[in-house]
Chain A
Amino acid sequence: MHIQFASDHSLMVSFGDEISESSHRQVLRMTELLQQHLRSKVRNLHPAYSTILVSYNPLTTDGAEVERAIHHLAQQIDRVPSPEPRTKELPVCYGNESGPDLSEVAALRGLTPEDVIQIHSSADYLVYFLGFTPGFPYLGGMSERIAVPRLATPRKQVPAGSVAIGANQTGIYPVSSPGGWRIIGRTPRRLFFPEREPLTLLQMGDRVRFFPISSDQFQHWNEHK
């Protein structure tokens, strides 16, 4: 584990530079330890694939002290039990208005749209972390067979719930935002709830599976305003 200052008010904790389930477990455990033990000293935590950015108020907190505390916590990291991973099944209406880029994704990879749906919905994905926008999951485990580049020009507005592919990652846009990934479907489920606890449907470490639904089912289950 390596720690360096990222700014005068944050530290970058690094567990290497790879995307792997073992780096992920360390990030998950250290995030848990930081939340438990350093809550009063830390303003924000940004866990990612193999790193955690830890920010604090430099007027009231000494960065060197935070750094020492993290090194100290690292000694306990192997003793943090890994919580039972939760599995979330998300309904997705693929194609048509819900997935305007589905045909193009299929064409780019020499597949039929049905192939893309089948491949996308038969994998077990891992939520590496949440970032980018509230509740947005960075999902690992997507088949390379449906990997496609990001759009040359991002869309200015992507509907909330859009399920998309960007390079070899897949994700879901929880809120309407600009987006550069290719949209293959849409989930009627909400992923972000600022009005209640828990704030997000998904959390770091969850497993996610997608299952196809019809547009009628989408209308029936639609949780988006």
Chain B
Amino acid sequence: MSHIHVISPGFVTTVQDLGRYGYAHLGVSASGAADRLSLRMGNALLGNPESAAALEMTLAGGAFEFDSETSVVFTGSDFNAQFEGNSVPPYVPFRVRAGQAVQCGATRSGARCYLCVRGGIEVPLVLGSASTHLMTGLGGLEGRALKKGDLLKIGNVTTKAFQTRLFDRDVLSRLMPQKVLRITPGPQGNWFRDGGKSLFQGTYRVTEESNRMGLRLHGPPLEQTYSGQMLTEGVSLGAVQAPKSGQPILLFVEHQTTGGYPKIANVISADLHSVGQLRPRDEVRFELVSMEHALSLLREQERLLGSS
């Protein structure tokens, strides 16, 4: 059995896979990687199943030691990873030997970096998934962020040796996170002045009160013109909610399954990975697109992901 030993955990590092689906009617959110695209790319580079679990690091990464030889790759943002005195760029797999370690620092770009390992991280599955849901303490390693001294198992590799591949530079650049988030109208889109025009015209700053449950944004307030009360109803990943203050909240991977604030818009699936890379003080804009365009962007992204 191979292990990763946590020498230092980093700011908020959790075990994540692609999430647990099928339990929202019981109040269980899907959770999963904040930047699914980067997790999937890391797994693709290592010949792992796309949903193999990895370490999701936030804003500043940790230091990790391997007790056996294996292949590793960093994906997502550049956290200035060092290995044996050399810088390791993201998206380039490399071999580590028993006793060797990697060290990460603060991000040089976006909020999240994934440490993926051949075989994936192995933790007891909760409702079929290794993902950590921090708010309720479910899944991952004891339902929490990693601590110094933690020992993580690496899964046994059952597939035969993989062919080293790299993503084409052009593909990587087209899959980079963006600060313009495309949106489609939300269930209460018409409750807002001019159908929510302030959302589409303004620039919003990501505040410090942002995490895996949601990002609190600050910018031109969203004025509600309908005075009716909203009944609690199901909430979709990427929903942009407007509480009484008018300052939008962008719901994210650990969001509650139901909520009572009006939802003016929803970020498109293809742009959710960009949300996972937003840091406090980042500025975002929103752009309204049609449902057809949202779907064609998603299919295009999937096509790029599959190319090598």
Contact = CB atoms under 8 A, between A and B. Distances in A.
Question: Are A and B bound to each other?
Answer: yes
Interface of A: 4-10, 12, 17-19, 31, 43-53, 55, 58-59, 63, 129-136, 138, 174-178, 192, 194, 199-200, 204
Contact of B27 (A6, A19, A59, A133): A133
A18 B229 CA distance: 10
Contact of A48 (B228, B231, B236): B231
B49 interface: no
B69 interface: no
Contacts of B30: 44
Contacts of A192: 26
Interface in B22-36: 22-28, 30
Contacts of A194: 126-127, 138
Contacts of B137: 175-176
A132 B238 contact: no
B12 interface: no
Interface string B237-281: 111000000000000000011100001001011000000000000
A31 B25 CA distance: 9
A133 B302 CA distance: 32
Nearest to B30: A44
Contacts of A176: 137
A34 to B, nearest CB: 9
A7 B27 contact: no
A5 B231 CA distance: 18
Interface in B1-53: 21-28, 30
A20 to B, nearest CB: 11
A59 B25 contact: no
Nearest to A200: B26
Top 10 closest A-B pairs, CB basis? A53-B234, A46-B234, A131-B258, A7-B266, A44-B24, A8-B294, A7-B236, A48-B233, A10-B236, A51-B233
A53 to B, nearest CB: 3
Contacts of A199: 23, 26, 28, 127
Interface in B73-110: none
Contacts of B232: 48-49, 131, 138
Contacts of B237: 7, 9, 55
Nearest to A199: B26
Contact of A132 (B23, B27, B231, B291): B27
Contact of B28 (A52, A63, A134): A134
B157 interface: no
B233 A58 contact: no
Contacts of A63: 291
Given A8-B295, A138-B232, 12 more contacts: A6-B239, A7-B238, A9-B269, A43-B22, A46-B24, A48-B258, A50-B231, A133-B27, A175-B136, A177-B135, A194-B127, A199-B23
Contact of B269 (A4, A8, A12, A132): A8
